[in-house]
Structure 1
């Protein structure tokens, strides 16, 4: 019909009514040759779902709101980042490689308003609130005719070689972290808002073909992609879905649909006194020549713009199927109505009427609505012919638009859209949790976010007070952490603490804690860093919101008993599990400190530098225990039991290994402001009581490979106190 209408207009401008008739006749022949059923090629729905990077790929013109993959139009090579992790006795250091990439993706060949959500490999990369789930820089160029060159592209290609892509809306990603996507650029798709939605199909047609006036075609869609080999193919696609058609209006074309004003013409047998006027025929094609099922493929707004299909079927003979691929965003009931309308038009189109009229009908144009005397309803002039000085009109009944019914889009499984939140991180030296002595101080970093969408942060550390920084890769899985609200108070490391409890506030409401029985605790369950003390808890009671009460405590685990009772409100709480804590062994001196930076997805979520003192708790032996004094004649015999940083579980009934190069102790006798020092290789020492002034404080240190432990202390107020 496109050629028929266009040549009718051209013929009318050149030769008046007769020229219009001849033009329409020629155009009708062209339409029959070029627009036979099955030869139309419009935009395919898959064109918007798959990201491309091929030279010459067509960039769609977008209308309304829809999801599009786009085409990569510029990219850098992958940028490699390396970080060394691990190391220590019994295991070697590992170099971990991560990658980032910078690239630009063309979205629309006409201006757009904004980009909202972005998906990467089907998961949300950017949420509805504009938050990115992975660290990246992002800029959007809206497609104006005066937009500047992107600064990143200009710096990489040179200012004179970098195009501004004016008239093309495109997005630029700068240093997108690729670890989440297997160290490759992921398949991206974008929720693009090009115009305020909904947009009428007639408005879209007028925009891509200014010679067409489309106000009468009012069918609204939430979004539409103009993409295809020709403008004509896009218009044919619109007409097939909407049931509209084109009619010449002077020097322009008008898109019309449905019933309207119609001129009445005589039916067959009328005005028989005028030669050749009114002769008509009627034909009805067999039912099986029309489609029995019509499918409309579209983008479903209720399913994050995934492709949907709605069908309409009729009873009766035939097995022909018809499919309309409409690159438009619709609700399921609207798509169902389009399928029903197309099915009804296919069935109504089986009935055709041909009437032969005189010269006074030369002005009747293809696409005109007419009424035929004696035939119900209105008819559309489908073909126009001038034969033997008479005008022959082939007409098709105009089907009424069916009433839209209900339809289901099917189950929608949307990608989770959870905020990243502010990064929370804890950085501390950690005692060894297994039976392998360490050769370098070991630090632990646990991180999470104030919102459930937090996934990870990039780490770097400094051993020189922040002068230089070294990459340390990324954090482990999100940890369960928070702060102390109510400290547990004092306790004993050798007995289960059933009296005291601790109340903690977790970082976000998605974090949970669980109970554990004695067997689970013995296997290491519910181990947590509480301030500087390692504890285990058997009972975790939710108090509402993010608050939990922890009770039935095992205190001072792994040699942290000196920290019992030192906690204050606001101190850290970290649940220690294998998957949520990252361990870093560093060559640093005991007595110094190490700083840590944790960089989240967004700059405002970064953690300020954290400082961990190097106390040596990961290298030094724990303090001796069971310190006791007895009299041996006129002397005092001081005894104790050693502990070890290796072999924490007593499993074989014999003494645990020393865990150091040799067994050695230092003893300090602090009395009347004077400190005397002794050394021994046995867990006991004899102190002369003669001349010893009271009160006297006795301190015992175990000498380890890398330094001495904290002190075990015993204070004697008088000699009579010693049994």
Structure 2
């Protein structure tokens, strides 16, 4: 900021030369005010998956989150699905999938954890993809084979196997959740159980001495060379490089390491030269100047925030000035990061403690990096440099930092990590809907599929019907809205379909415990609220009382609706329950042919096998309702007058004074007399009445003793259920 201000003022006063002088003065002011620049490589932010030429592919150690690099891809694949037709407008829905390969690490890895796409989980910790597609992982072994998809596209002769490179292939990745584009992805790579110096130094041909592990470091990202990375780690860990001997030695001194492991220097030797230090003692102790006036700040990858960059400040009183920013490309917990930055701050003074030591003993085992002990000084010291002179070997020593186990717990923080729940299992109940006059032509049928799931982590399902021979025909795909499904845990008692059933109760256990049922009033029932199917009976309920474990007690029923009165006496425990409301998927017969199918199936992303359901109420849309109100009158001439009241399918509301349309090609009835399941005579009539003469009654008494008269409406497609008119007396 000062650089801009001073440059502007200088230009205004003295032209371009004054601006240059002002800029120099401003930079000096900024340096004095804000302190030194950052140390170490700049940590990667949430970089996205790229495919630029020349982009380095990092080496991953431990467990880290990396952006990856796209190394192969195809054009987006377009898929279309046509719905409608046969009298309805046809609608074409388009979806897109992607095929791509992403490089993860330039060294072998052990596995893959989570994948984030546009900040959402694309793959959970359990290995489940949250959208459709197939993932294949190649760990970078020297024997891995080419990917079959890449080989098929590029040709087996020229397809590389990328040996030594860990990468993955995403085939058929659905893009509908990402705006039909390839999302920005990051990947949790598992390369090692722990980060060790021996793994880092495998290319340096160095021997690891003492402790081999970097305590608290979960992962490490190396994209700027191993030597540079070791230098960065040396800012917070007491790593030393001993150059004595034929092979360099790396070490992290610990309190457990015995002092005897360090070489003991001889007593210091005096020197007579005028420019020599310690002419009387042979040694000189001094303190270096502080590099930064303020406490350091450590920037790292926070494992408690899904590896997002985080910072930790050293404890202590705030000091004027910009703190030194230490950038460490390592994955740490906030507690361990606080330990490290506190250690750096507390030992800053110790690192300034230096000692010049002169010895006349020429020891080839002592060279820069060697850990030594002194005869009259506590602790261990590291040889920073040495110089041969006439008076002896002059060593520059610095006190060795020791990795201590002290802990400092930072205040807890909150981070809204994406929910990683397993995909819910799909459940469904399928039924043919009774024909409704508001739905269109009387010949049209509709399939209602109530598709739900065990939890809200569900992304919809693909619907099919099963035909003879096990052939599956696709219907459509559902939305992510779950229907309310369950099962009856007791038996719903019989009751009259003509009155409000206030006595019966039934307990329903919902498939998803997080869903709810709501009570209603009589006005709501008149508008169609709380319509459900239990077994083979369609009903409505007034009251829903919550119990425990996703169970609800229902009461206050309108029974046997839409022509299902014959199912009132057929209830059993465990039969399916489904709420018939706007969350049910409706499939019209003009859009898909399902009438001759026996089962419906649905399969979602988390299903191992499809959920299936028989199609309940088959043929109900075309079946006329049974007549009601039977009447039998003996006539004065000895004959019998039978009559009844017709009902029309599709017009379910009661309207006083309104003659409901019949919705059939013609009004016809079939009257029979039956005994022990055998039909003895049939009459056809076009009016809801039939007169039987005295002579015919006498013949029937001889032909079918104990017989019963039944009346059925003859519809356009089939007969209605029977109505018992009267016994033959």
Structure 2 vs 1, CA of residues 696 and 606 (structure 1 numbering), >3 Å: closer, same or farther?
Answer: closer
Q: Is the 8 A contact 1:362 1:391 kept in 2?
A: no
Is 2:575 the counterpart of 1:575? Answer: no
* Separation in structure 2 between the aligned mates of residue 564 and residue 558 of structure 1, nearest angstrom: 12
Is 2:292 the counterpart of 1:290? Answer: yes
Structure 2 vs 1, CA of residues 624 and 163 (structure 1 numbering), >3 Å: closer, same or farther?
Answer: farther
Cα displacement (A) at 1:404:
1.7
Give the 5 Å matches for 1:323-402: 323-349=325-351, 351=352, 353=354, 355=356, 357=358, 365-369=367-371, 378-384=380-386, 393-399=395-401, 401=403
Structure 2 vs 1, CA of residues 240 and 52 (structure 1 numbering), >3 Å: closer, same or farther?
Answer: same
* Separation in structure 2 between the aligned mates of residue 626 and residue 475 of structure 1, nearest angstrom: 44
Q: Is the 8 A contact 1:627 1:641 kept in 2?
A: no
Structure 2 vs 1, CA of residues 654 and 374 (structure 1 numbering), >3 Å: closer, same or farther?
Answer: farther
Q: Is the 8 A contact 2:624 2:713 kept in 1?
A: no
Cα displacement (A) at 1:401:
4.9
Name 1:22's counterpart in structure 2. Answer: none
Structure 2 vs 1, CA of residues 235 and 444 (structure 1 numbering), >3 Å: closer, same or farther?
Answer: same
Name 2:711's counterpart in structure 1. Answer: 699
Structure 2 vs 1, CA of residues 176 and 76 (structure 1 numbering), >3 Å: closer, same or farther?
Answer: same
**What secondary structure is seen at the aligned counterpart in 1 of 2:340?**
helix
Of the three residues 551, 563, 582, the one matched with 1:559 is 563
Cα displacement (A) at 1:615:
3.7
Is 2:528 the counterpart of 1:524? Answer: yes
Structure 2 gaps of 5+ residues are: 1-34, 675-679, 702-706
**What secondary structure is seen at the aligned counterpart in 2 of 1:593?**
coil
Q: TM-score, normalised by structure 2?
A: 0.79
Cα displacement (A) at 1:454:
4.2
Is 2:433 the counterpart of 1:430? Answer: yes
Structure 2 vs 1, CA of residues 178 and 314 (structure 1 numbering), >3 Å: closer, same or farther?
Answer: same
Of the three residues 155, 158, 162, the one matched with 1:161 is 158
Name 2:645's counterpart in structure 1. Answer: 640
Of the three residues 167, 170, 178, the one matched with 1:170 is 167
Partner deviation per Cα, 1:578-625 (whole Å, 9 max, x = no partner)? 23x2111124789733654423336733236x5537844345664554
Q: Is the 8 A contact 2:115 2:123 kept in 1?
A: yes
Of the three residues 66, 70, 76, the one matched with 2:74 is 76
Is 2:114 the counterpart of 1:114? Answer: no
Name 2:609's counterpart in structure 1. Answer: 605
Is 2:684 the counterpart of 1:677? Answer: yes
Cα displacement (A) at 1:230:
2.5
* Separation in structure 2 between the aligned mates of residue 409 and residue 298 of structure 1, nearest angstrom: 17
Structure 2 vs 1, CA of residues 527 and 275 (structure 1 numbering), >3 Å: closer, same or farther?
Answer: same
* Separation in structure 2 between the aligned mates of residue 61 and residue 186 of structure 1, nearest angstrom: 23
Give the 5 Å matches for 1:595-674: 595-601=599-605, 604-607=608-611, 612=615, 615-618=618-621, 622-628=625-631, 636=641, 638-640=643-645, 642-646=647-651, 648-649=652-653, 655=658, 658=661, 660=663, 664-671=666-673, 673-674=680-681
* Separation in structure 1 between the aligned mates of residue 587 and residue 625 of structure 2, nearest angstrom: 21
* Separation in structure 2 between the aligned mates of residue 370 and residue 591 of structure 1, nearest angstrom: 90
Of the three residues 59, 66, 73, the one matched with 2:57 is 59
Partner deviation per Cα, 1:41-62 (whole Å, 9 max, x = no partner)? 5372436x63333333322222
Give the 5 Å matches for 1:154-233: 154-197=151-194, 199-200=195-196, 202-211=197-206, 213=208, 215-216=210-211, 218-233=213-228
Q: Is the 8 A contact 1:594 1:613 kept in 2?
A: no
* Separation in structure 1 between the aligned mates of residue 667 and residue 446 of structure 2, nearest angstrom: 24
Q: Is the 8 A contact 2:598 2:615 kept in 1?
A: yes
Cα displacement (A) at 1:258:
4.8
* Separation in structure 2 between the aligned mates of residue 290 and residue 589 of structure 1, nearest angstrom: 78
Of the three residues 463, 467, 477, the one matched with 1:473 is 477
Q: Is the 8 A contact 2:451 2:585 kept in 1?
A: no
Is 2:237 the counterpart of 1:242? Answer: yes
Of the three residues 406, 417, 420, the one matched with 1:417 is 420
Give the 5 Å matches for 1:462-501: 467=471, 469-470=473-474, 472-474=476-478, 476-501=480-505
* Separation in structure 1 between the aligned mates of residue 662 and residue 73 of structure 2, nearest angstrom: 54
* Separation in structure 1 between the aligned mates of residue 117 and residue 45 of structure 2, nearest angstrom: 17
**What secondary structure is seen at the aligned counterpart in 2 of 1:365?**
coil
* Separation in structure 2 between the aligned mates of residue 249 and residue 278 of structure 1, nearest angstrom: 25
Structure 2 vs 1, CA of residues 482 and 212 (structure 1 numbering), >3 Å: closer, same or farther?
Answer: same
* Separation in structure 2 between the aligned mates of residue 589 and residue 670 of structure 1, nearest angstrom: 35
The count of corresponding residues between Structure 1 and Structure 2 is 666
Root-mean-square deviation (CA), in Å? 4.0
**What secondary structure is seen at the aligned counterpart in 1 of 2:338?**
helix
Cα displacement (A) at 1:339:
0.9
Q: 386-395 or 662-671, which moves further after superposition?
A: 386-395
* Separation in structure 1 between the aligned mates of residue 480 and residue 560 of structure 2, nearest angstrom: 25
* Separation in structure 1 between the aligned mates of residue 130 and residue 318 of structure 2, nearest angstrom: 54
**What secondary structure is seen at the aligned counterpart in 1 of 2:156?**
coil
Cα displacement (A) at 1:534:
1.5
Of the three residues 90, 94, 98, the one matched with 1:97 is 94
Name 1:46's counterpart in structure 2. Answer: 45
Cα displacement (A) at 1:341:
1.5
Cα displacement (A) at 1:338:
0.7
* Separation in structure 2 between the aligned mates of residue 390 and residue 584 of structure 1, nearest angstrom: 97
* Separation in structure 1 between the aligned mates of residue 173 and residue 318 of structure 2, nearest angstrom: 57
Q: 407-416 or 157-166, which moves further after superposition?
A: 407-416
Q: TM-score, normalised by structure 1?
A: 0.79
Q: Is the 8 A contact 2:64 2:221 kept in 1?
A: no
Of the three residues 248, 252, 266, the one matched with 2:247 is 252
**What secondary structure is seen at the aligned counterpart in 2 of 1:413?**
coil
**What secondary structure is seen at the aligned counterpart in 1 of 2:668?**
strand
Q: Is the 8 A contact 2:74 2:98 kept in 1?
A: yes
Structure 2 vs 1, CA of residues 163 and 591 (structure 1 numbering), >3 Å: closer, same or farther?
Answer: closer
Of the three residues 440, 448, 460, the one matched with 1:456 is 460
* Separation in structure 1 between the aligned mates of residue 341 and residue 562 of structure 2, nearest angstrom: 71
Structure 2 vs 1, CA of residues 467 and 590 (structure 1 numbering), >3 Å: closer, same or farther?
Answer: closer
Q: Is the 8 A contact 2:431 2:618 kept in 1?
A: no
Cα displacement (A) at 1:406:
1.6
Cα displacement (A) at 1:540:
3.5
Partner deviation per Cα, 1:295-322 (whole Å, 9 max, x = no partner)? 2233333444444332214436441222
**What secondary structure is seen at the aligned counterpart in 1 of 2:562?**
helix
